[in-house]
Structure 1
Amino acid sequence: MTPRPLRPLAVASGLAALALALTGCVANAPAGSSAATAVTVDGTDDGCSLSTTSVPSGPVTFTMTNNGSDNSEFELLADDGLRIISEKENIGPGTTGSMTVSVPAGDYYTACVPGLVGEGVRASFTVTDSGTAVEATGSEKERIDAAATAYVGYVKDQTGQLVTATDEFLAAYTAGDDEKARSLYPSARAHYERIEPVAESFGDLDPKIDFREADVEPGTEWTGWHRIEKDLWQPSADENGGAAYVPLTADERAHYADLLTSDTADLYDEVTASDFTVGIDTIANGAVGLMDEVATGKITGEEEIWSHTDLYDFQGNLEGARVAFDGVRDIVDEKDPELATSIDAQLTKVETLLAGYGSLDAGYPSYTELTDADKKKLSDAVNALSEPLSRLTSALVA
């Protein structure tokens, strides 16, 4: 990450404990509506069975019975597997919980999340076209509130997945399985990269978790992902200021692993606090900030100086920016449709360009394998996106 002034999050109390509204602000139908299609869900400690995996568009009521041994939640996610359309949290063992949401035709995912942390047990879910349009409804304030609630849900989900991915990565690292740890490092970090502007809002958490060696002030202990990165991809003396790199001992590995675990848990506690929420400007500024991260750190190769896994970080930032923009897209459409179209087109261009190198699932090449021409194409695409994206916040709050 690149050090910059921290952007404060607008935090307010009284976040409603309601199921998240559909991104794009399609109104939830009243719970138990007679017009809603009923879907029952059987959740266990390691399973998530639905009575059907295909329903017609319109109101759908999901009722989950938690037959597991821990608290659980049920989620309906968009086709990217990132945006939470709706969720029902804190369903205790032996209890049931319901949520009703109006959904348009399309492909989705469902998930039961035992223990409330991690990706959960996911499956594909299809909504067919019933012939009845599902329109965005509500006043502008209602849409803004729904966008904020949906974004908070996304941040919580990504942070929960970061916790479990970090635990798996650190287990391999402290066990001395460096090959496995190196394979897990970039994909685990993607969860953090998607929500980095939020992490930066919590005082010294981001410096503890994500500072590069060059960012650390003299006399301050260097901790976090990049401290461990250097130990996994040990530099030569020439790459280390002329000094031979001294590998960390087992005790030192355990020390830095414990600190990263603790700091990640603190981040999770912050975003799952009952009074955590965000303003519409924070969502928009987050999208801008994520692409700034690409322009200032990823394009130059400065972020992952030892592992050269910058393209993974690039993808995480890009996905986070897309989710943030899509969450407010319908509001921008009404205020400045040309701007909405421009941002969407430029986001798509960057997504298409990056997809030419790989994906988070299939992997990306080392950043050192890209030519100067490759890096210029990426830089030009990001710069072309930055111009319309820089106008997003003013369009929303005008």
Structure 2
Amino acid sequence: MKALNPGTAVVIALGASIVLSGCEPNDQSNGAIAVTSTDDKCDVAATEAPAGTLKFDVTNEGSKVTEFYLLGEDGLRIIGEVENIAPGLERSLTVTAPEGKYFTACKPGMVGEGLRGDFTVTKGKGGEQVSAEDSQLAEQATTQYAAYVKDQTEQLLTGTEEFAKAYKDGDDDKARELYPKTRTNWERIEPVAESFGDLDPKLDLREADLEEGQEWTGWHRIEKDLWPPKDGYTAMSQADRVKYADLLVADTKILYDRTRSMTFTPDQLSNGAKELLDEVATGKVTGEEEAWSHTDLWDFQANVDGARVAYEDLQPLLASRDKDLDETLKTRFTDLQTLLDSHRKGDGFVLYTELSQDEVKKLSDSVNALSEPLSQLTDKVVG
């Protein structure tokens, strides 16, 4: 996916709104784009606007508390958000957006992917954009990334609850279908999740990493039960299914709660991006992560998503300091994504066991080609 050109927008959190400065004003005839959110619709009065400052007036006519987002072209990177819009209330979101493709999204109940629609920002009028200070660009990056982490943990919790219910109900086909899709939200923010040393082993420990006497819980415990080995495995009882599914949801809820108020620094974003590529190199491209389901390419894609979002949030700051490195990273992310896309099947991927040794090597080489310049990112954006 080609990275958006974020220009030199600046994010400044002001109460309920996120305000960005750095582009020319947008001349909306009524001063704002009206958005009406209900329990099942997100009606946006316009589907395009010229580049510059955009204001969305969001009215909640539904029965649930809602949120509104402007998302980047990949549907992952959050340009701006406004949260906690109670039924009957109106809130505003003001952002500055350069030319490009975007999505709008309402999120009734403040969970899940939300109700999305295409939105296009066309070429603006007038002169050059105003340069932003490095401190403002750093604030933009960390504000946007914090919103991204919150969004991913919201989706993770919703997906985990659905997965756990299917597993407890004995609907193994549905549980197997949901397993890699739901884990995507975990894998996109894996460095953040791993920062909670008490939660990570409960949720994501592999059997091979168990210590003597340690109880095995979490995703991979259930994975093995859904894709059992042919010999020497005893399926979990119904009581154990309920136990481990409920533990998975409970621990995910703790992660969700802890990420509501997290803040970040630029080096945490850049180092986290590198950690995600390291995760790919040491676990996903080797096929070790999903030993039973072989859904490693879903995890691979999610790790790359998370690294790219962190880089794109930092891109305006990087571009002001090292344009050559910025261009190299854009190219290497695109090359790796193209290679990953060649292994897609339906709305997912082929199983890892279907890859040839040559295909695995090409993936590994592409990861290494991206990892080297990505390791330089922290030095460029810190200080």
Name the TM-score, length of structure 1 as normaliser. Answer: 0.89
Q: How does 1:316-335 map to 2 (within 5 A)?
A: 316-335=302-321
Q: Against the structure 1 CA distance between its residues 307 and 315, is the aligned structure 2 distance closer, same or farther, given a 3 Å change threshold?
A: same
Separation in 2, partners of 1:194, 1:381: 19
Q: 1:73 aligns with which of 59, 67, 70?
A: 67
Secondary structure at 2:104 match in 1: strand
Q: CA RMSD in A?
A: 2.1
Aligned to 1:4: none
Residues 11-160 of structure 1 aligned to structure 2 (within 5 Å): 17-20=15-18, 27=22, 37-132=31-126, 135=129, 137-160=131-154
1:287–1:352 distance in 2 versus 1, CA, 3 Å: same
User: Partners of 2:23 and 2:15 in 1: how far apart?
Assistant: 14
Offset at 1:189?
A: 0.6
Quote the offset at 1:132 in angstroms.
4.0
Q: AA paired with 1:260? A: L
Match of 1:236 among 230, 248, 255: 230
Distance 1:210 1:17 in 2: 36
Contact 2:56 2:93 (8 Å CA) reproduced: yes
* Residue 345 of structure 2 corresponds to residue 351 of structure 1: no
- Is 1:270 the counterpart of 2:258? The answer is yes
Compared with structure 1, are the counterparts of its residues 389 and 301 closer, same or farther at alpha carbon in structure 2 (3 Å cutoff)?
Answer: same
1:136–1:121 CA distance, 2 compared to 1 (3 A): farther
Q: What letter matches 2:100 in structure 1?
A: G
Query: Are 2:348 and 1:363 equivalent residues in the alignment?
Result: yes
- Cα distance in 2 for residues equivalent to 1:171 and 1:62: 37
Distance change in 2, residues 1:99/1:137 (3 Å)? farther
Q: Where does structure 2 lack aligned partners over 5 or more consecutive residues?
A: 1-12
Alpha-carbon distance in structure 1 between the residues aligned to 2:342 and 2:234: 37
Matched residues in 1 for 2:71 and 2:86: separation? 21
Mapped partners of 2:222, 2:141: distance in 1: 36
Go from structure 1 to structure 2 and tell me whether the alpha carbon gap of 1:288 and 1:48 turns closer, same or farther (over 3 Å shift): same
2-side partners of 1:148 and 1:301: how far apart?
A: 32
CA contact (8 A) 1:48 1:122 kept: yes
Secondary structure (helix, strand or coil) at the match of 2:343 reads: coil
CA offset at residue 169 of structure 1?
1.3
Answer yes or no: is 1:385 the counterpart of 2:370: yes
Instruction: Name 1:241's counterpart in structure 2.
Output: none
* TM-score, scaled relative to structure 2: 0.92
SS for the counterpart of 1:68 is coil
Render the CA deviation track for 1:72-97: whole Å, top value 9, x for unaligned: 11111111100111111111111100
Task: Give the distance between the partners of 2:18 and 2:310, measured in 1 at CA.
Answer: 15
1:187 aligns with 2:181: yes
1:214 CA displacement: 1.2
Write the distance in 2 (CA, Å) between the matches of 1:133 and 1:115: 41
1:21 and 1:190 map into 2 onto residues whose CA distance is 30
Match of 2:242 in 1: 254
Q: Find the partner of 1:201 among 182, 188, 195.
A: 195
Q: CA deviation at 1:171?
A: 1.5
Q: Name stretches of at least 5 consecutive residues in structure 1 with no aligned partner.
A: 1-14, 238-243
Contact between 2:19 and 2:93, CA under 8 Å: does it hold in 1? no
Deviations 1:111-163 (A, max 9, x none): 11112121111111122223346736421111101110000001101111111
- Equivalent in the alignment of 1:313: 299
The 1:161/1:28 distance shift into structure 2, 3 A limit, reads farther
Residue 233 of structure 2 aligns to a residue in which SS? coil
* Residue matched to 1:301: 287
Residues 235-262 of structure 1 deviation map (CA, whole Å, 9 limit, x = unaligned): 122xxxxxx1010111111111111101
- Residue 169 (structure 1) aligns with: 163
Secondary structure in structure 2 of the residue aligned to 1:335: coil
Aligned with 2:214: secondary structure?
coil
Distance 1:219 1:136, change over 3 A: farther
**Residue type of the alignment partner of 2:173:** E
Partner Cα separation in structure 2 for residue 188 and residue 41 of structure 1: 29
Q: CA deviation at 1:37?
A: 4.7
Number of corresponding residues: 371
SS at 1:60 equivalent: strand
Q: CA deviation at 1:36?
A: 7.8
1: CA distance, partners of 2:230 / 2:159: 29
AA matched with 2:358: A
Partner Cα distance (2:328, 2:133) in 1: 25
Change (3 A) 1:172 1:140: same
Distance in 2, matches of 1:134 and 1:157, equals 33
Structure 1 moving runs of 4+ over 6 Å: 32-36
* Equivalent residue, structure 2, for 1:291: 277
Q: Which amino acid aligns with 2:65?
A: N
Per the alignment, residue 8 of structure 1 pairs with none
